[in-house]
Amino acid sequence: MRIIKPSDIPASEITPREIYLNRRQFMAGVAALAIAPAVSASSEPSHGQKFMDIKTGPYSTNDKQTPFDSVTTYNNFYEFGTGKDDPAKRAHTLKPRPWTVSVEGEVKRPKVFDIDDLIRFAPLEERIYRLRCVEGWSMVIPWVGFPLTELIKQVEPTGNAKFVEFVSLLDPKQMPYQRSSVLDWPYIEGLRIDEANNPLTLLAVGLYGEVLPNQNGAPIRLITPWKYGFKSAKSIVKIRFVEKPPITSWMRAAPNEYGFFSNVNPEVAHPRWSQSRERRIGEFFKRDTLMFNGYAEQVAKLYRGMDLQKYF
């Protein structure tokens, strides 16, 4: 894996964004970019740095991708404010280097990973996943990352590890809205161990072939495409394997509105919104919401026999 600075690339070799957004044309042009000078992976990434040697991962959708500018300017990231444009305006205060992720709890081999070691941990993949938010909007994003299960194998969970807890950075200097009481900080999310081991579950370090922007959860975040977007914890600093289900941030804030599983389900309404329809960013008309966000083939078996209205 190498990271390229845009300033290191001759103008004649820079692929126009309209070509880059066309997947087939972009992949055809990767070889030309590979000859450009590389910078050290340990240097602090900046907007526009691109990953090299990304393989195409499985489970990608053929849906039209949401434009890069929309993906990076319309976000939920309450550590920087509750407005959709707040993260893009304010997340420059986040410092994604140096950064470590501690893996602990019910594991035989607890470890502390430097972020750059994690980036080199497994072959990076690009996976084009749908993202569905509980407010009723959705996107299609080409994430760059590696399956969480690859990390799980390295730390060897014990038989007591039934759930996985994800803890985001707590630092009001870097994340100024943590001084507010909108949530009980730090941000905490959780998965059942079989959900964490599902091949769809991704630890993402980039999008659109670029280093993950601050406002999208830099330097590393969780992606669970069959669940509502708030389950995908951002700016992770700790992963804990535990015996009991963690009390997640939104469960603590509003337990009648946000359940532990939070699977995309058009038949279970949020108290304030129907979930039967959604509006994809960039489109005028709404579309029907798909069960498990369209990933039923990969995940429905995890919930066989469960009452999905009770266990929402």
**Single-letter code of the amino acid located at 289:** T
DSSP for 175-198, written as a single string: SGGGGSSSS-SSPEEEEEHHHHTS
Q: Could you tell me if residue 216 is inside a domain?
A: yes
Number of C-beta neighbours around residue 202 at 10 A: 25
Prior bond of 225 cis (ω within 30°):
no
Tens of each residue's pLDDT in the chain, 312 residues:
444 444 444 444 444 444 444 443 333 333 333 322 223 344 455 557 999 889 999 999 999 999 999 999 999 999 999 999 999 999 999 999 999 999 999 999 999 999 999 998 889 999 999 999 999 999 999 999 999 999 999 999 999 999 999 999 999 999 999 999 999 999 999 999 999 999 999 999 999 999 999 999 999 999 999 999 999 999 999 999 999 999 999 999 999 999 999 999 999 999 999 999 999 999 999 999 999 999 999 999 999 999 999 999
Question: Quick check: is 25 in a domain?
Answer: no
Task: Decide if 167 is inside a domain.
Answer: yes
Q: Is residue 72 part of a domain?
A: yes
What are the Cα distances from residue 189, in Å, to 26, 203, 232, 239, 242? 35, 14, 8, 10, 12
What would you report as the CA-atom Rg of the chain, rounded to the nearest whole angstrom?
19
Q: What are phi and psi of 65, to 5 degrees?
A: -75, 145
Other Cβ atoms closer than 10 A to 99: 20
Asked if residue 18 is part of any domain, the answer here is no
How many structural domains does the chain have? 1
State the pTM of this model. Answer: 0.86
Look up the domain containing 236 and give its range: 56-303
Residue 236 lies in a domain: yes
CATH number of 100's domain:
3.90.420.10
**Is 298 a member of any domain?**
yes
Tally: H helices and E strands in the chain = 9, 15
Residue 94 tokens read as: 């986040």
User: Within a domain: residue 31?
Assistant: no
